Chain A
Amino acid sequence: GQQLNQSPQSMFIQEGEDVSMNCTSSSIFNTWLWYKQDPGEGPVLLIALYKAGELTSNGRLTAQFGITRKDSFLNISASIPSDVGIYFCACTQGGSEKLVFGKGTKLTVNP
């Protein structure tokens, strides 16, 4: 099946630092979505990207849909302790609404 390569698998940073994570694939996707999941809860949508090259911000978060439609990155600026969690990229292909997920990036922020 379709696979998304998400990296890094985990990150340990100090509060105030910037964070960058990315997802790549060998396939072309129509939509890139970035989610954050806290333990025992469902994923929460952070940013949705619909067009190749699109750069979108949501507060301290910025994400871009790669021009080749095969990759995306998520940046978090000036991290705070509540940024702790697992971040997932997810994509759709063609006209489908079915999501393919990356394996996640576990973020730990040390105060």
Chain B
Amino acid sequence: GAVVSQHPSRVICKSGTSVKIECRSLDFQATTMFWYRQFPKQSLMLMATSNEGSKATYEQGVEKDKFLINHASLTLSTLTVTSAHPEDSSFYICSASVSGQDLSLHFGNGTRLTVT
């Protein structure tokens, strides 16, 4: 089946630094990937839609200058949390759909970000 790989699985960083999270589709091409954020014991909230070769589309309330998204190829999207603060600590998850098929969204294993 379709596999989405996310890296790193865990990261701890200091306030003010930037962190890059990678999302790769391993055995299929994904023109569109999605980035979600999940707080403890809560559901997933869509942050942005990552489009290959074009600018990402951000959901209302998500700062595009803080959460930089780059989708440089059909198998890779990156999310960079810039100038991280403790309130950015969360579980970040990406997903990708298999192009040309009935919608079947597959998720990466998530990245646990802790900002100290």
Main SS class of interface, B: strand
Q: Are B43 and A40 in contact (CB under 8 A)?
A: no
Of the four ranges (under 10, 10 to 19, 20 to 34, 35 or more), the interface on chain A belongs to 20 to 34
Residues of B within 8 A of A (CB-CB), count? 24
Task: Provide the B46-62 mask, 1 if CB < 8 A to any CB of A, else 0.
Answer: 10010000000000000
How many contacting A-B pairs (Cβ < 8 A)?
A: 57
Q: Which residues of B contact A90 (CB under 8 A)?
A: 105
Q: Of A43, A44, A48, which contacts B104 at CB under 8 A?
A: A48
Most buried by B among A40, A50, A99: A99
Question: Are B97 and A97 touching (Cβ within 8 A)?
Answer: yes
Nearest 7 Cβ contacts at the A-B interface: A42-B107, A101-B43, A42-B110, A42-B109, A43-B107, A101-B44, A42-B93
Using a CB–CB cutoff of 8 Å, the interface residues on chain A facing chain B are 31, 33, 35, 40-45, 48, 50, 88, 90, 92, 97-104
